[in-house]
Amino acid sequence: MEPGWKTPEDKHKRGRAKVAEPPEGEGPVLEWFYPTRGRALTMGLILAVIAVAYLVWRDWGFGWVTTWWLWLFILPWPFLFLLAGRNLRMSAGADWLIYGKSGIVKIYELTKVHVTVGGAAHYLDIEDRHGNSLYAQINNLQLNRELWDLVYLGILHSVHEGRAETNTMADNYLALKVPPHLREWEYGEQ
């Protein structure tokens, strides 16, 4: 296990009750992610500190502090991140993924695997043979490494065995065209 990885017992205990359960007939939840309030609050505070640093830099001091409306650019961030973080919930089984409220996607039966860029993030756009689709930020899926492992293995299987359609960005960003047993040689690692 890598340093910083949490075992399933160490995860946010109350978060397990907040993630979606699979529909009847699907396997059990193997991995899940629901952010803690502390994580969301920390991200909001970091953004607030960046805003303060920018205002201090712009005014070469703290003269901006007495301008009441500038505080509207600083104070809401922690609360906005707390509210936005509540929408991020994922669960995965051996062959399925539920992300937010988008429904279930069968990750070993994918027909389309595309990666797009939105802002500064990469997004995974997938669709299974049942017509279920998912559009999710990849780094959100990677917040739980074990969950990402389940999803990535399903993607690899769908591409190599099921012949899922991919785009160039998916091939490059997710290294889909390089067979897993050849990856070390392809990238020069030995």
* pLDDT, greater one: 89 or 145: 145
The predicted pLDDT at position 87 comes to 65
Strands 104-106 and 121-128 turn out to be unpaired
Domain ranges (residues) in the chain: 37-84, 94-186
Q: Which residue in 3, 89, 25, 82 sits closest to 48, CA to CA?
A: 82
**pLDDT tens digits, 120-178:** 899 999 999 999 999 999 998 998 899 999 999 999 999 989 899 999 999 999 988 87
Residue 182: pLDDT band (50, 70, 90) is: low
The predicted pLDDT at position 58 comes to 87
Q: Does residue 181 have a pLDDT over 90?
A: no
pTM (two decimals) = 0.72
Give φ, ψ of 20 to 5 degrees: -70, 140
Q: Which residues does 33 contact at the CB level (< 8 Å), separation at least 6?
A: 15, 19, 88, 89, 90, 91, 143, 144, 147
**pLDDT tens digits, 3-57:** 455 544 445 566 666 677 888 888 898 998 877 667 677 888 888 889 889 988 9
